[in-house]
């Protein structure tokens, strides 16, 4: 990995100490996102980088404080600038390694030199971080200006996600303590109180912390909740008492961590609403909480679908099955675009987001923009295609009011009228897959159609071996198929999903293709829409959860089922 040279500038830069919250990237403040988008250097540990890195600009220098110190550190000055040279990775890279100085304050100072804007991100809130104050004092001594962007503290955010309010209408006292550094006096004071206590500890020592509270005077039957991986889709919460928590964790087969114990947040107290957690646990009760869902679509197409799945608590994994390439013979597309500018067409019909992208790229090639659509009526096959057009600066004149498909588009398409329509021709940019239904329907309505190949769809490259193994081995809880081609291509490049994986299809044709490939369809969208498909999967997950609760069984994900367990067919 070659060193990256930071640009020279004023002797001192600027440092933003930023609270990244307890783990959910959605808890970052607006000010935090603004600071990240303007940062030249991002300094953080590995887990914090996973939270904040997506908001950093492309090309930001990323310094991982968890990495090993490389040979030859500290860095040597860049010739002619006096600024140090750090080995970093580009913000777009997935590599997590870079240099570290165990004295993080020194690392931040080195990064700030040369006029650079440094974001030092820490978990939770900087005011509660054990070392942030020392790093701020180092900035003061070095004359480096800094600011602090508060974050959601884990001791507050995790109980909220676990469905455990810290105060009730009676306004009980709330105390916060870190069991890893608490003194005997601290234990005694907390034990003498009847208020709520929020304890930061580790999964391996939570039983010992409960014992300390009992020894200090708390009753063994005092309610207690323990949450691990709070605010993330790995979150799990156990409800017990001070006297039973150790046995509860043992029965749940929670094993000691080889890393020395995962951090947890425990809430103790009669008024901590632990008894109401079944009703208040909004996060872990999401319909697809923790489900790993495979989304086999192109990257551009899967973004909004993945966002919707996340809102249901799922962890989407995007695997492109289709790659989009230019047509083999571009001349037809070039003639059509020129005809569009010279007034050859009355309408242009877009049947996919990729068609919008293909026309837009051709426009940019010719130095054109959305103004070239002036005087031309524009149709979009559905909402996602319409959004792509609006992003281009074009508001479609026609979007199906019913089914979002070629058939739905034809239902709303007006017949050609020689009195009101000066031109009788429609430009239809499409994939290399034929669109006979739409073309035939438009001709029947009296229109002439220029059916033009704007792009080609080809099978994508196989995903990494780890993903292929997860697909075939039952590592995914569900897979969403949005077309017959996604079924064929996924099976072709990665293999057939395991029989415990829930199969969800967008419509009957896709379901038929899935069954032809030996897959059992569990969920089918009520109408051919990717968003309705996601809703149908969420409804399936909700019913599955309710059935487990009603039967008194633990709520598990499909991938956690015992090997060989039979799956009932449940198409919704």
Q: At residue 82, does pLDDT exceed 50?
A: no
pLDDT value of residue 11? 61
Reply yes or no on whether the pLDDT at 171 is more than 70.
no
Which of 141-150, 274-283, 287-296, 378-387 has the least mean pLDDT? Answer: 274-283
User: Prior bond to 74 cis, omega within 30?
Assistant: yes
**Which tokens belong to 195?**
């208020």
On whether the CB atoms of residues 377 and 406 are closer than 8 A, the answer is no
pLDDT, position 182? 86
pLDDT of residue 273: 56
> What is the pLDDT, as a whole number, of residue 256?
61
**Dihedral sign for Cα atoms in the order 37, 41, 45, 50:** positive
61 neighbors 113 (Cβ within 8 angstroms): no
What confidence tier does 259 reach under pLDDT thresholds 50, 70, 90?
Answer: low
Residue 114 CB coordination number (10 Å): 23
Residue 224 forms beta bridges with which residues? 240, 268
Residue 146: pLDDT over 90 = yes
Confidence of residue 263 (pLDDT cuts 50, 70, 90): confident
Q: Alpha-carbon distance 22 to 50, whole Å?
A: 12
% pLDDT > 70, the chain: 85
Q: What is the mean pLDDT of the chain?
A: 84
What's the pLDDT at 184? Answer: 87
CA–CA gap between residue 512 and residue 483 (Å, rounded): 10
What confidence tens digit (pLDDT) does each residue in 94-129 have?
A: 333 344 434 678 888 888 887 899 999 999 999 998
pLDDT of residue 192: 84
Of residues 364 and 404, more confidently modeled: 364
Render pLDDT for 479-494 as a digit per residue (tens, 0 to 9): 999 888 889 999 999 9
pLDDT tens digits, 177-215:
999 888 888 998 888 888 899 999 998 889 999 999 999
Output 302 or 120, whichever has higher pLDDT: 120
pLDDT for 227 beyond 70: yes
Per-residue confidence (pLDDT) for residue 114, from 0 to 100: 79
Strand order through the sheet with 292-295: 315-318, 292-295, 478-481, 502-505, 523-524
**Gap between the Cα atoms of 365 and 270, Å rounded:** 68
pLDDT of the residue at 100: 40
Q: DSSP letter string over 72-123?
A: TPSPPBPTTT--B-B--EETT---------SSHHHHHHHHHTTT-EEEEEES
The 10s digit of each residue's pLDDT in 478-531 is: 999 988 888 999 999 999 999 999 999 998 989 999 999 999 999 999 987 888
422 CB-contact burial (10 Å; exposed 0-12 / middle 13-18 / buried 19+) = exposed
**Bigger pLDDT: 28 vs 430:** 28
Q: Is the pLDDT of residue 62 over 80?
A: yes
């Amino acid at each position: 990995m070659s060193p990256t040279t930071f640009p020279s500038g004023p002797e001192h830069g600027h440092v933003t100490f930023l609270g990244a919250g307890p783990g959910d990237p959605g808890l970052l403040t607006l000010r935090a996102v603004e600071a990240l988008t303007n940062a030249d250097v991002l300094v953080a540990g590995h887990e914090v980088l996973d939270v904040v890195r997506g908001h950093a600009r492309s090309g930001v220098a990323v310094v991982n404080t968890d990495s090993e110190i490389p040979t030859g550190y500290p860095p040597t000055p860049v010739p002619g600038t006096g600024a140090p040279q750090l080995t970093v990775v580009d913000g777009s890279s997935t590599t997590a390694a870079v240099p570290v100085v165990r004295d993080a304050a020194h690392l931040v100072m080195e990064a700030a030199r040369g006029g650079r804007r440094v974001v030092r991100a820490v978990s939770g809130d900087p005011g509660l971080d054990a070392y942030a104050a020392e790093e701020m004092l180092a900035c003061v001594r070095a004359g480096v200006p800094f600011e602090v962007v508060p974050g959601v503290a884990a001791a507050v955010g995790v109980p909220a996600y676990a469905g455990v309010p810290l105060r009730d209408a009676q306004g009980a006292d709330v105390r916060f303590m870190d069991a890893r550094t608490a003194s005997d006096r601290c234990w005694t004071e907390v034990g003498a109180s009847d208020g709520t206590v929020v304890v930061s500890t580790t999964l391996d020592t939570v039983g010992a912390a409960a014992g300390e509270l009992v020894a200090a005077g708390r009753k063994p039957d005092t309610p207690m909740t323990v949450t691990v991986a709070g605010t993330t889709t790995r979150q799990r919460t156990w409800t017990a008492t001070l006297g039973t928590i150790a046995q509860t964790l043992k029965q749940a087969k929670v094993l000691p961590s080889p890393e020395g114990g995962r951090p947890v947040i425990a809430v103790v107290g009669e008024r901590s609403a632990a008894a109401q957690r079944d009703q208040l646990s909004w996060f872990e009760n999401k319909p697809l909480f923790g489900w790993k869902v495979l989304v086999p679509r192109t990257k551009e197409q899967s973004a909004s679908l993945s966002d919707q799945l996340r809102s249901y608590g799922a962890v989407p994994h995007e695997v492109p099955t289709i790659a989009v390439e230019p047509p083999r013979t571009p001349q037809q597309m070039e003639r059509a675009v020129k005809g569009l500018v010279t007034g050859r067409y009355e309408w242009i019909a877009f049947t996919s987001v990729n068609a919008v992208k293909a026309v837009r790229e051709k426009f940019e090639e010719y130095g054109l923009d959305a103004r070239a659509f002036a005087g031309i009526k524009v149709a979009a096959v559905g909402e996602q295609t319409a959004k792509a057009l609006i992003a281009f600066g074009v508001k479609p004149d026609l979007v199906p009011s019913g089914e979002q498909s070629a058939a739905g588009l034809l239902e709303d398409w007006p017949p050609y009228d020689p009195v009101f329509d000066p031109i009788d021709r429609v430009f239809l940019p499409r994939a290399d897959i034929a669109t006979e239904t739409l073309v035939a329907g438009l001709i029947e309505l009296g229109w002439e159609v220029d059916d033009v190949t704007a792009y080609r769809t080809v099978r994508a490259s196989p995903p990494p071996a780890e993903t292929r193994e997860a697909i075939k081995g039952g590592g995914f809880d569900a897979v969403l198929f949005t077309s017959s081609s996604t079924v064929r291509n996924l099976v072709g490049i990665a293999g057939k999903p395991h029989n415990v994986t829930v199969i969800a299809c967008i419509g009957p044709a896709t379901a038929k293709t899935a069954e032809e490939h030996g897959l059992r369809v569990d969920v089918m969208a009520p109408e051919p829409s990717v968003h309705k498909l996601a809703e149908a999967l969420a409804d399936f997950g909700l019913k599955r959860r309710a059935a487990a609760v009603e039967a008194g069984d633990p709520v598990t994900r499909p991938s956690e089922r015992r090997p060989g367990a039979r799956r009932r067919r449940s198409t919704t």
